[in-house]
Amino acid sequence: MANQQPHPLAMTIGDPGGIGPELALKAWLAQTASATGTRKQGSNMLPFCLIGPSRIMAQYATQLGLPVPIVRVENAAMASSVFARALPVFEIADNDAPVIPGVAAAATAPMVINSIETAVQLTRQGITSAVVTNPIQKSALYQAGFPHPGHTEFLAELAGPGTTPVMMLANSKLRVVPLTIHIALSRVQSELTPDLIVTLCKITAAALTRDFGLLRPRLAIAGLNPHAGEDGTMGSEEQTIIAPAIARLKADGYDVTGPLPADTMFHEEARAAYDVALCPYHDQALIPVKTLDFHGGVNVTLGLPFIRTSPDHGTALNIAGQGVARVDSLLAALKMAGQMAYNRLSPEETPSHE
């Protein structure tokens, strides 16, 4: 079991007018030695299969002058044997809508959605070991009738009833989970409940054990108010919402601390005391993780029956097709997906790769 190799990763194409196709090409170049067509020595990253139309990948390779051979594969599992010499592409239905770098078009939305659906299907079937998604342009999808707020909610629907997705942002220095996500600050107080905190903490802890090899994850929960409310003088949510949730978690055997003042829990010494920080609102979590390592950030969706990672940035339409997009975050997402796949392969025998 310990010497088993996970199946290849399934990479979605993302919005073809954005930087996703360029990043996919650059990721293949980064994982291979283009001069010899062989894998770089010492690379522990899994091969990936791009899910999308090969004509789009060929278009970008030509326009950007990137020396990436492209091979269509009939089975995504073939990516392992093809990857050293070419970028494997699993062809999907395509309406041949024109792709213009820097332009997100509703006409390509069906293909973008199909790419995500196919990647999830392949992974749930065990043909690929994880889904790595390139950025989508939600406005273009909405024009085509896409009913979901974003990637995460769509993936939860594909996962099936009863799925509670949890967004975790991670890099080499910090992991964070926002307890509420894309809502106005004025709504945080009403959305943040003891039940929500307990549920998200338990999902996070389970994922850190299963996918990151942490047998007893240490969870730190930030306060909502300045100075974590300072004994109720700056707000009572810490006492009425967060502390009761922490008490329930401790009673169930979880290693959890808080509520902690958010302004003092992200320096290096403080970060050494926990494995993940859970924060009441979006920016409270995302500002420190992006400040510490902006280009190496990965968006991980916990709570799904399959592995999903993504670069922590958007489609960057303003630089699409110019050849200047940085591939760091996608490479980090590929590496993390591979590490998680190894850990799921044999939890008892496989190291955490941390």
| pLDDT tens figures, 104-121 | 999 999 999 999 999 999
Identify the pLDDT of residue 45.
84
Distances (CA, A) of 309 to 81, 103, 108, 183: 23, 25, 23, 22
Identify the pLDDT of residue 44.
61
Q: What share of the chain is helix, strand, coil (3-state, %, to 5)?
A: 40, 15, 40
Average pLDDT, the chain: 91
Identify the pLDDT of residue 33.
54
Domain 173-292 class in CATH: alpha beta
Identify the pLDDT of residue 231.
85
Asked whether 21 and 108 are in contact (CB, 8 A), the reply is no
Q: pLDDT over 90 for what percent of the chain?
A: 81
- How close are the terminal C-alpha atoms of the chain, in Å? 20
Peptide bond into 21 cis (omega under 30): no
Phi and psi for 317 in degrees, rounded to 5? -60, -30
Identify the pLDDT of residue 234.
85
User: Is the pLDDT score of 348 beyond 90?
Assistant: no
User: Is the pLDDT score of 354 beyond 50?
Assistant: no
For residue 218, name the pLDDT band (cuts at 50, 70, 90).
Answer: very high
Provide CB contacts within 8 A for 35, sequence distance 6+.
Answer: none
Identify the pLDDT of residue 39.
44
Measured CA to CA, the distance from residue 51 to residue 53 in angstroms comes to: 7
Q: pLDDT over 70 for what percent of the chain?
A: 93
User: What ranges in the chain are assigned the alpha helix state H?
Assistant: 20-31, 54-64, 79-82, 109-124, 138-143, 151-159, 185-191, 194-212, 237, 243-251, 268-271, 282-292, 328-345
Element (H, E) at 309: strand 308-311
Domain 1-163+305-354 class in CATH: alpha beta
User: Is the pLDDT score of 319 beyond 80?
Assistant: yes
Between 36-50, 139-153, 285-299, 312-326, the lowest mean confidence (pLDDT) is in 36-50
Element (H, E) at 52: none
Measured CA to CA, the distance from residue 326 to residue 294 in angstroms comes to: 11
Identify the burial level of 351 via C-beta atoms within 10 angstroms of its C-beta, where 0-12 means exposed, 13-18 middle and 19 or more buried.
exposed
Identify the pLDDT of residue 38.
45
User: Is the pLDDT score of 208 beyond 80?
Assistant: yes
Domain with CATH 3.40.718.10 in the chain: 1-163+305-354, 173-292
Measured CA to CA, the distance from residue 88 to residue 102 in angstroms comes to: 25
Measured CA to CA, the distance from residue 51 to residue 114 in angstroms comes to: 9
**How long, in residues, is the chain?**
354
pLDDT of 71-106, one tens digit each? 999 998 889 999 999 999 999 999 999 999 999 999
pLDDT of 228-266, one tens digit each? 878 888 888 999 999 999 999 999 999 999 999 999 999
Question: What pTM was estimated for this model as a whole?
Answer: 0.91
